[in-house]
Structure 1
Amino acid sequence: MFTGLVTTIGTLQLLSEQQVRVSCGAADLLADMAIGDSVAVDGVCLTVTELLPDGFVAAISPETISRTILRWSGGSRSVNLEPSLRVGSKLGGHFVTGHIDGVGYLEASVQTANAWEMSFQVPDSRVSRYIVPKGSIAVNGVSLTVAECNATGSWFKVAVIPHTYAETNLHDLQPGSPVNLEGDVLGKYVEKFLRLNGSVEQTDTEAVDEFETTYPMSDSITPSFLAEHGYL
């Protein structure tokens, strides 16, 4: 789990269809890193398989290659980096899983008095369905708020503050540049609940009845109820 608040920028090199190498100069990020850790690389959750003096090697899967912009990572390019969220850490962005939904493309980037207004085209319906006005979206792993979008979500605009623009690789984007997009995970659960409403199979109904018998719904959640169920 991540927050979409990028820690630093690194350089990614595609070693093979199974591995990437990421170099960075952030000593604090590397000092706390261990084999097996999860790191968001341009928003993609990757697992560290080897530690290097100036970075790390991570494994990638065919699904990751097909669903993200890693398939266009010929040579080397800058990437946004964020370590996984620790219990008790501040959640300043939004819940980002690191599981990319699809790819979008920068349409335009316009500097205003206090922000960069960036608009994107989203041809992939796996992403566009979760884009709503004032909703959250992760662009190359950066947590942003949708300022405007069309009815289908195939186009949206965000306002990027100067600090975020300068400290991430969003400043490298040119019109037509591909980006990794991840929709808000909360929207995905809402969509599934709505889709299943009224179409629960008998076996699922029995499971729901058993759950409600074990954990009956209450109009009020009291301190004693929370303590009884291990929350206090």
Structure 2
Amino acid sequence: MFTGIVECMGRVVEFSRLDTTTAGGNGASLTIAEAGAVLGDCHLGDSIAINGTCLTVTEFSADSFKVGLAPETLSRTNLGELQQGDRVNLERALAAGHRFGGHFVQGHVDTTADIIELVPDANSVRYKLRVADPALMPYIIPKGFIAVDGTSLTVCDVDDDEHWFTIMMIAYTQAHVVMPSKAVGDKVNIEVDMLGKYVEKVTASILRGSSDADGAGAASYIEKVVQRVLQKEK
């Protein structure tokens, strides 16, 4: 679990499509340097989010670490497009007892989004992003949470028909995350607020009923609620 509060920016030193070392596991791997701020208490097997993607540390030193990349990760995120020298957002998994500054971020990227507009607004910047998977739009709501490349941000505007939303980034955030280095046309990782997914799942299950396809389950549930209210009013 993460919070979307980026701890530091690392730098890509190597991206290997086939890493035959023990730490690479005969698959894709990514090595990040300038990461000392998140490695002071690191252990093999720990989780570190890179651009909002929860990944497992397979090798590390005082300043750099390596993670493995599964095919699902490469297909779902923008990590496969990283080049040597690119900056990335880094965050360690949340430790118990620490202040919770952002929102619940799993590090399980849902989709990517293209930056389609970038507009300075005083000392802030407003970004318009179009999501690759329109099915996620119901979970993106004005003033709701969203993680963009692992950064916890507040949604400003939403257009469900054209599949875009906007966020605004203040000056402080601009100085501490990778977003300002990106341009129109670049891809970012998106994780929608997981609480919305849980609410939808539970609500849909209740309204659908255990085995009803004709709405009887929903009717039964509504009738029970009405009966409870009437009982309380007696």
TM-score relative to the length of structure 2: 0.81
1:20 aligns with 2:30: yes
- Equivalent position amino acid for 2:174 in 1: Y
Residue ranges of structure 2 left out of the alignment (5+ in a row): 18-26, 212-216, 218-234
Moved more, 80-89 or 108-117: 108-117
SS of equivalent residue, structure 1 residue 22: strand
State how far apart, in whole Å, the 2-side matches of 1:93 and 1:129 are.
Answer: 21
CA shift in 2, pair 1:40/1:91, >3 Å? same
Distance 1:139 1:82 in 2: 13
Distance 1:153 1:81, change over 3 A: farther
Contact 2:117–2:127, Cα closer than 8 Å, also in 1: yes
Going from structure 1 to structure 2, the CA distance change for 1:152 and 1:192 (only over 3 Å counts) comes to farther
Aligned to 1:209: none
Give percent identity, aligned residues only.
39
Map 1:39-50; keep pairs closer than 5 Å: 39-50=48-59
After TM superposition, give the deviation of residue 153 of structure 1 in Å: 7.4
Judged with a 3 Å threshold, the aligned counterparts in structure 2 of structure 1 residues 53 and 135 are, in CA distance, closer, same or farther, namely same
CA offsets 1:13-58 (integer angstroms, 9 cap, x no match): 322242111111x434221111111001000000001113421011
8 A contact 1:104–1:120 mirrored in 2: yes
Matched, 1:97 2:110: no
> How many aligned positions are there?
202
Deviation at 1:114? 3.5
| Superposition deviation, residue 116 in structure 1 | 1.1
Secondary structure of the residue aligned to 1:190 is helix
Indicate yes or no: 2:73 matched with 1:64: yes
Partner of 2:166: 157
Alpha-carbon shift at residue 59 of structure 1 (Å): 1.4
Indicate which of 128, 147, 161 corresponds to 2:156.
147
> Distance between the aligned counterparts of 1:150 and 1:84, measured in 2?
32
Give the CA deviation at 1:195. Answer: 1.9
Find the partner of 2:139 among 122, 130, 141.
Answer: 130
Contact 2:7 / 2:37 at 8 angstroms: preserved in 1?
A: no
Q: Which amino acid aligns with 1:167?
A: H
Instruction: Indicate the residue corresponding to 1:54 in structure 2.
Output: 63
Following the alignment from structure 2 to structure 1, what is the Cα–Cα distance between the partners of residues 29 and 135?
26
Distance (Å, rounded) in 2 between the aligned partners of 1:108 and 1:133: 18
Q: For residues 38 and 99 of structure 2, what CA distance do their matches in structure 1 show? A: 17
Give the corresponding residue for 1:181: 190
Letter in 2 for 1:131: I
Q: Structure 1: 5+ residue runs without aligned partners?
A: 206-232
Per the alignment, residue 170 of structure 1 pairs with 179
1:98-157 per-position Cα deviation (integer Å, ceiling 9, x unaligned)? 000001011122222231111111131243231111110100000000011113571111
The SS at the match of 2:175 is helix
Which segments of structure 1 move beyond 3 Å, counting only runs of 4 or more?
none
